[in-house]
Amino acid sequence: MSSSASSTPISYKDAGVDIDAGDALIERIKPLAKKTMREGVLAGIGGFGALFEVPKRYKEPVLVSGTDGVGTKLKLAFEWNMHDTVGIDLVAMSVNDVLVQGAEPLFFLDYFACGKLDVDTAAAVIGGIAKGCELSGCALIGGETAEMPGMYPAGEYDLAGFAVGAVEKAKILTGQDVKPGDVVLGLASHGVHSNGFSLVRKCIERAGATAPATLDGKPFKQAIMEPTRLYVKNVLAALAAHPHTQDAGGIKALAHITGGGLLENIPRVLPDGTAAHLTKGSWPQTELFAWLQKTAGIDDIEMNRTFNNGIGMVVVVDAAAAEATAATLRAAGEQVYAIGTIAARGEGAAVVVA
């Protein structure tokens, strides 16, 4: 008799993959996903592919897509057992990017990968994803949970997200009409969001027991883990109220302040020959960013190219519409600061002068 015939059978569960746990997670997810349903969803979770019909109100829809992860912020989620908000980060990083083109996020898919599936942890993470979708009017239409023994240390996982939005072709924000004299508005962030965490973790390590108990009125860990702000609904409303057309100057460009901070993200939406001149001190530095700067021992330039530094979204608007646009955003609940102006860019000059 061959050795294989006499060996004890090995199930998939023995190999480290628990199909029953995966099924239990899907049942936990279904009601969360159901809360995010919106017009256009034809078939969501459960099929091999999710079906979505672009709403008929679009005359010339252009699809805008974005993908991202959460980065090393997840290392703190593992260490501190704080899993309920990183899903919001995941959604925000993609839908805020899609928004920058002037697009309304339509649907979102997630990818959750781990070595051994812990249903409670996964449900907390995906609950955050569903919350982020709900807050941004975006359907959680599908996803993938992958249990891969040996690929990840115990208790760890990785996340990726994918968003698709739509914008009328005539209303795509390109930034091509940005000109000297336009005003740069900054919308306050909710803290670090999800960029710069390799440095944040070094600061926490350096501070050790001297880390403050609270920052900005929140417990230290909560202040650090505060999820990325979702700007979608308020900014879409402002775009509708203050559109830039040939006849009227309104919102001309948006920049999501992620990796690379203010110094590297604003230039992505500026036409050649222009620069953004940011006014130092035009928005307050929070206790969180003051602590990070002091602990890391870095200058203002390094702060502005590593972190959002308190500004999570930038709005470039015609000067004549700046006050009204700021008022619309403030009325919706945003903290808005006039942080600078657009100027002509001299040869060899920086694109952003902070």
176 domain-assigned: no
Q: What's the pLDDT score for residue 237?
A: 97
Same domain, 95 and 197: no
> 32 vs 110, which has greater pLDDT?
110
Same domain, 125 and 189: no
Same domain, 116 and 199: no
Three-class SS state of 58: coil
DSSP per position, 151-187: TS-TT-EEEEEEEEEEEEGGG----TT--TT-EEEEE
Q: What's the pLDDT score for residue 48?
A: 85
231 domain-assigned: yes
219 domain-assigned: yes
Same domain, 7 and 126: yes
Same domain, 258 and 347: yes
Same domain, 101 and 47: yes
Alpha-helical (H) ranges within the chain are 3-6, 19-34, 73-80, 86-100, 119-135, 197-207, 220-225, 232-241, 261-265, 287-296, 300-306, 322-331
- Cα–Cα distances (Å) from 275 to 29, 184, 296, 320, 322, in that order, read 46, 11, 29, 19, 18
Q: What is the C-alpha separation between 207 and 295, in angstroms, rounded? A: 7
Q: pLDDT over 90 for what percent of the chain?
A: 81
Give yes or no for residue 37 having a pLDDT over 60.
Answer: yes
Q: Letter for the amino acid at 313? A: M
Q: How confident is the model at residue 17 (pLDDT cuts 50, 70, 90)?
A: confident
Average pLDDT over residues 56-76: 97
At 95, list the tokens: 């839908």
Residue ending a domain, among 142, 171, 200, is: 171
244 domain-assigned: yes
Residue ending a domain, among 133, 151, 171, is: 171
187 domain-assigned: yes
Q: Which among 340, 24, 26, 11 has a CA at the least distance from the CA of 183?
A: 340
> 212 vs 23, which has greater pLDDT?
212
Same domain, 124 and 242: no
At 299, list the tokens: 């200058």
> 137 vs 4, which has greater pLDDT?
137
Same domain, 21 and 106: yes
Residue ending a domain, among 171, 205, 239, is: 171
pLDDT tens for 247-301 read 778 999 999 999 999 999 999 999 999 999 999 999 999 999 999 999 999 999 9
Q: What is the C-alpha separation between 39 and 65, in angstroms, rounded? A: 18
Give yes or no for residue 45 having a pLDDT over 80.
Answer: no
Contacts of 130 (CB under 8 A, 6+ apart): 29, 32, 33, 35, 36, 87, 140
Q: Which among 70, 76, 82 has a CA at the least distance from the CA of 113?
A: 70
Q: What's the pLDDT score for residue 1?
A: 46
Same domain, 283 and 233: yes
Same domain, 86 and 224: no
Mean pLDDT rounded to a whole number for the chain: 93
274 domain-assigned: yes
Q: What is the tally of structural domains in the chain?
A: 2
Full strand arrangement of the beta sheet holding 61-68: 61-68, 157-168, 104-114, 139-147
* Strand pairing class (274-278; 61-68): unpaired
Domain holding 264: CATH number? 3.90.650.10
Cα 49 to chain centroid, rounded:
24
177 domain-assigned: no
Q: What does R_g of the chain's alpha carbons equal in angstroms?
A: 22
Residue 349 structural domain: 183-353
Same domain, 157 and 263: no
Q: What's the pLDDT score for residue 351?
A: 80
Burial call 161-191: b when 16+ CB within 10 Å, e when fewer: bbbbbbbeeebebebebbbeebbbbbbbbbb
Q: pLDDT over 70 for what percent of the chain?
A: 98
Q: What's the pLDDT score for residue 92?
A: 98
Same domain, 128 and 187: no
